[in-house]
Amino acid sequence: MPASILGEVDHLSDAAAIRNRAALRALLDCPSCGSSHVAQVLGDNGGVSYVCTACGHSWS
């Protein structure tokens, strides 16, 4: 157990960062082939899209 509240806050921040990385990893897996080889690209209207460099599938 941490000796101060600052130690507890650091612990919570680490857990949130791990959760965020896991959620981002799931987002960036290709929904078609499951590959994690994904590129982020800008769309025509400034939106963000993704392209799988393994199979060519694109999504936004």
Residue-wise pLDDT for 17-57, tens only, equals: 556 565 565 568 999 999 999 999 997 788 989 999 999 99
Cβ atoms < 10 Å from Cβ of 59: 11
**15/11 Cα distance (integer angstroms):** 6
* pLDDT number for residue 6: 60
Q: Which long-range contacts (CB under 8 A, 24 or more apart) does 21-24 make?
A: none
The pLDDT assigned to 17 comes to 58
| CA–CA separation, 6 and 13 (whole Å) | 11
In Å, the largest CA–CA distance within the chain is 53
